[in-house]
Amino acid sequence: LVAGRTLRSAESAVAGVNVRSVFAAEHENIGRRVLGVAAEAVRVYAARFGALPLKTICVTEAPLVAGLGSAEFAGLGVIASAYYVDFDAPSMRNLPEIVREQRASVEDSLEFTVAQVVAHHWWGAIVGGDPERAPVLDEALSHWSALLYYKEVHGEARAAQALDDQLRGVYQVYRTFGGEDVAADRAARDYRNSFQYAAIVAGKGALMFVALRRQMGDERFWTSLRRYYEANRFEVAKLDDLRAAFAAEVPVAERRAVTRTFNRWLTEKRGDEDIAPPNPQLAAALGLPTEPNVTKDRNAFSRLGRFFWRQMTRIR
C-alpha cells in the first residue's frame, strides 16, 4: 500500500494490462515519463516472453531508505523518489552546474530502473523464485530484460551504452574500489552490501544472458526463455530449472557448453576477464591505492558510500 496527500496517477493500457504510474504532484512530468517507459516495457516483454496474467501493474515513487533504489512486489514496483528529478523545474537553476550536468545520467538510470522493475513481474512474480536463497534467478533476468527494452525501443547503440553504464560499469567501479569478485549464485545474506549485490548478482548475472544469446543464436535462445516462462508460471522456479530450459534447446553435444557458460558466469570468478578489470586511472583520480592488494582495503566501500551519499544529498 502506498498512500500520500499529494499523490497523483496516470494510466495506460497495453498488451491487455493496465499500467499505472503513481507520483507526487510536483513530479508529474517525471511520473508521466515513467508511465511511458513502463508501458513500452510491458509491450516488449509480452511480445518476447509471453502474456502477463495480471490486469494491472503499478509503478510508484516512494522515499526509500538510502542504498535502496527500488523494490518489487506482485503487481507493484516501487522506485526511490531520489530518481524523480525534474531538470526542467525552475528550482534546478539554483543547483550547481556539476549537478545539472548529470541530467542524462540521472534520466537514463531512471529509465533503466523502470524497465527492470517492470520485468520483475515476469521474473519474480509470475515465475516465482526464492529471493533469499537464489536472488540471481530473478535479478539477472530482470536486469538483462532492461537491456532488451533498450535495444527494442532505442536501438543497438543505446542498448550498448546502457550495458556499459548500468552493468559493466557498475562491476568495474566495484572492483576498482576493492570489491572482490565472488560467485553470483550465493544467498542474498552472503553479499556484504548493496554495491556488491548490484555488481555481482545483477551485473554478472545479467551479462550471462548476453553470452548465452551469442552462444546459442537468437532462435534457440528465445525458445528457451519462452519455454522456461511457460513451464514455470505460478511456480517457484530454481536455478536448475533455468539451466535445464536452455540446455534442452541445444543438441546433446552442445549441452555441456551451455552448462559451462552457466558455471563460468555464476559460480566461477571470471568477472575481470569477461566483464572488465579494475580501472587504475579511476582509482588514481579518486585517490585509491592501485597496488595488487587493493582488494584488501575494506575502507574503500565506506568511502564510496560517503561519496555517493554526499552527491545525492546535494541533488535533493
Same-domain pairing of 217 and 278: yes
Of the residues 68, 103, 122, the one at which a domain ends: 122
Same-domain pairing of 1 and 140: no
Instruction: For residue 275, give the C-alpha cell.
Output: 566483464
Of the residues 88, 104, 122, the one at which a domain ends: 122
What distance in Å separates the CA atoms of residue 28 and residue 10, rounded to the nearest whole number? 9
Q: Please report the pLDDT score of residue 98 as a whole number.
A: 80
Q: Please report the pLDDT score of residue 90 as a whole number.
A: 87
What distance in Å separates the CA atoms of residue 61 and residue 110, rounded to the nearest whole number? 11
Pick from 11, 19, 1, 12: nearest CA to 55: 19
Structure pTM?
A: 0.90
Strands 127-128 and 76-80: what pairing?
unpaired
Same-domain pairing of 139 and 270: yes
Q: How many CB atoms lie within 10 A of CB 235?
A: 12
Same-domain pairing of 6 and 24: yes
**Sheet bearing 56-62, strands edge to edge:** 7-14, 17-24, 56-62, 76-80, 70-73
Same-domain pairing of 112 and 140: no
Q: How many CB atoms lie within 10 A of CB 109?
A: 17
Same-domain pairing of 167 and 284: yes
Same-domain pairing of 310 and 240: yes
Instruction: For residue 123, give the C-alpha cell.
Output: 521474473
Instruction: For residue 4, give the C-alpha cell.
Output: 500520500
Same-domain pairing of 97 and 158: no
Strands 17-24 and 56-62: what pairing?
parallel
Same-domain pairing of 158 and 233: yes
Half-sphere exposure of 67 (CA within 13 A, CB side): 11
Same-domain pairing of 70 and 193: no
Domain with residue 225: its CATH number is 1.10.390.10
Q: Please report the pLDDT score of residue 290 as a whole number.
A: 66
Of the residues 122, 151, 169, the one at which a domain ends: 122
Q: Which residues of the chain have pLDDT under 50?
A: 294-303, 305-307, 309-316
Contact status, residue 296 vs residue 177, Cβ threshold 8 Å: no
Same-domain pairing of 118 and 136: no
Sign (positive/negative) of CA torsion 287, 292, 293, 295? positive
Where does the chain have alpha helices with state H?
28-48, 97-100, 103-119, 136-154, 156-162, 169-176, 194-197, 205-216, 218-232, 239-247, 252-266, 271-274, 280-285, 299-315
Instruction: For residue 16, give the C-alpha cell.
Output: 491487455
Same-domain pairing of 209 and 80: no
What distance in Å separates the CA atoms of residue 202 and residue 313, rounded to the nearest whole number? 25
Q: How many distinct structural domains can be found in the chain?
A: 2
Residues spanned by the domain of 45 = 1-122
Q: How many CB atoms lie within 10 A of CB 4?
A: 14
